[in-house]
Amino acid sequence: MIDFKQEAQDISKELVEFRRNFHMHPEASRTEFHTAETVAALLESLGIEVNRDYAGDLPSVVGLLKGGHDGPTVALRADMDALRLQEMNTFSYRSQNDGVMHACGHDAHTASLMGAVILLARHRDQMHGNVKFIFEPAEEDIGGGRFMVPNGVLENPHVDAIFGLHVENAYPVGSIGVCSGEMMAASDRLIIKIKGRTAHGAYPHLGIDAMMIAAHFLVAVQTMMAREKDTFNHAIITFGQIKGGTARNIICDEVEINGICRTFNPETREMLNRRIDEILKGITMTFGGTYEFERQRSHPALICDPDMAEHVRETADMILGSGHVIDLPHGSLGCESFAYFAEARKGAFFWMGTGNKEAGIDKPLHSSSFDIDERALPLASAMHAALAWNYLEKHSQS
C-alpha cells in the first residue's frame, strides 16, 4: 500500500499555497474562471487529459488520469465557488475580492483534490484503472452537476463509483463524519405572491388584506407540518423572507413570501409542495384574495451508498488511524450538489474535520469569520487519493 498520508504531508506547503491563493481570490458561482484556469494548468502540467465543456458555459474542469493497467474508473469531485459575503477575517490571505468570500471551504476542497491529482499522477503506471477528477462550478447556486451528469461527465470511460468531501469545523482536524443512506436533503425554493386589494387602514372592509392572508398561510403551513407529516420522516419548510406593504395606514395589497422546502423522501417532497398549493388556494379563497406559487426545484437528496460509505470508513482507518471515524446517526437537512453525481452512480460523501477549538477555528460554514485548520489539507488529499486507489485495487481483482 502506498503511504499517501506521508506523501501528502510532503506537499503540505504546496497545498496551503493552493488554498490561500483561492481564498485571497474567491470567485462567486458561475464566475470561477481564474480558479478553473489554475486547476486546468496543474492537470495539464502533469500530462492529464482535460475537458472543460461538461458544464456548458460554466467554468468546469474535468481531468482523466489513465492508469497503466486495465480496470474500473472512479471519480473524485470538488466544488470551486465562493459565497457573496464580506469577509471579516484579518489574516494576510483574507479575500481581496470585495463582497465575495470562501466561507464554505470550497477553496480547501479544490486545493485538496489538486493534491490528490499530484499524488495519484506519481503512481499512474501502477494504477489498475482510471481516475476522473471533477471540479464543479456553481455548487452554491444552480449546481454545475445538474449539467455535467446529463452531458456525460460520468461516461467515456464509464465511472463506476464517485467520492466527495466537505470541510466541517464541528469535527476536529484528523477526524471525519460519515453515514450510510440519507446524507443531505433535496431542496426546493418556494416563491409565493399573495394578492389582495388596497384600502385606507381606517376602512379595511373596503380592501382585501394580503398581509393578514399571508399570516394565516404561514401558520397553516407549520400546522400542517406538525400534524400531517410523519415525525420520523425528516423534512422542513422554512419561510425566511416576507415583503409587503407601503405605509402603516394602508391595507397591503400584495405580499411576497420566500422560503425553502427540504426533504429526503421523493414522495414527501411532492406531497409537501402539493399541500402548500392547496393551503394557499383554500386560504386565499376564504379571504377573497388570489395567489401565485412558483416552486424552483434545486438539488436532489444526497443518498450515500452503504458499500461506498463503508469504503470511506475503511480508508479513513488507514489514513487517519482507528477511532477517528464519527458515525453519524442521521443526515443533514442542508443540501449539496454532489447529489447529482451520487444519484447517477454509487457514491459516498463525508465531512472532513477541520476544527480546532483551542486555536479559535470553530466558526460555522457560511460565517464571515470562517476559517479552517490547514493541517486538514494533506489529510483530505490523502483521503481522496487512497479512496480512489483502494477502490481500483479492490475492484480490478473482482
Whether 343 is a known active-site residue: answer no
Q: Which residue in 7, 32, 107, 139 is the catalytic one?
A: 139
Query: Is residue 19 located within the same domain as residue 99?
Result: yes
**Do 297 and 188 meet the contact criterion of CB atoms below 8 Å apart?**
yes
Q: What digits encode the pLDDT tens for the residues 25-75? A: 999 999 999 999 999 999 999 999 999 999 999 999 999 999 999 999 999
Plot region of 245 (φ>0 → left; ψ -120 to 50 → alpha; else → beta): left
Residue 290 has pLDDT above 90, yes or no: yes
Query: Is 32 domain-assigned?
Result: yes
Residue 357 has pLDDT above 90, yes or no: yes
Domain CATH number, residue 192: 3.30.70.360
User: Which domain-ending residue is among 262, 296, 330?
Assistant: 296
Q: What digits encode the pLDDT tens for the residues 167-190? A: 999 999 999 999 999 999 999 999
Query: Is 320 domain-assigned?
Result: yes
Q: How many domains is the chain built from?
A: 2
Query: Is residue 149 located within the same domain as residue 241?
Result: no
User: Which domain-ending residue is among 296, 326, 341?
Assistant: 296
Residue 147 phi, psi (nearest 5): -100, -40
Query: Is residue 208 located within the same domain as residue 339?
Result: no
Query: Is residue 10 located within the same domain as residue 67?
Result: yes
User: Which domain-ending residue is among 296, 311, 326?
Assistant: 296
Cβ neighbors of 379 (< 8 A, separation 6 or more) are 5, 8, 173, 174, 319, 320, 352
In angstroms, the CA 30 to CA 141 distance is 8
DSSP structure string for 224-291: HHHHTS-TTS-EEEEEEEEEE-S-TTB---EEEEEEEEEESSHHHHHHHHHHHHHHHHHHHHHHT-EE
Query: Is residue 152 located within the same domain as residue 35?
Result: yes
Q: Which residue in 7, 27, 32, 81 is the catalytic one?
A: 81
Domain span at residue 368 reads: 2-182+300-393
Query: Is residue 26 located within the same domain as residue 138?
Result: yes
Q: What digits encode the pLDDT tens for the residues 109-159? A: 999 999 999 999 999 999 999 999 999 999 999 999 999 999 999 999 999
Query: Is residue 317 located within the same domain as residue 175?
Result: yes
Amino acid at site 251: I
Could you identify the residue written with the cell 486547476?
Answer: 39
Strand order in the sheet with 235-244: 235-244, 254-263, 186-195, 290-297
Cβ neighbors of 226 (< 8 A, separation 6 or more) are none
Query: Is residue 51 located within the same domain as residue 96?
Result: yes
Query: Is residue 357 located within the same domain as residue 237?
Result: no
pLDDT at 398: 58
Query: Is residue 28 located within the same domain as residue 122?
Result: yes
Query: Is 398 domain-assigned?
Result: no
Query: Is 161 domain-assigned?
Result: yes
**Set of cell numbers at residue 204:** 379595511
Domain CATH number, residue 106: 3.40.630.10
Query: Is residue 323 located within the same domain as residue 286?
Result: no
Whether 139 is a known active-site residue: answer yes
**Set of cell numbers at residue 339:** 447529489
Query: Is residue 173 located within the same domain as residue 310?
Result: yes
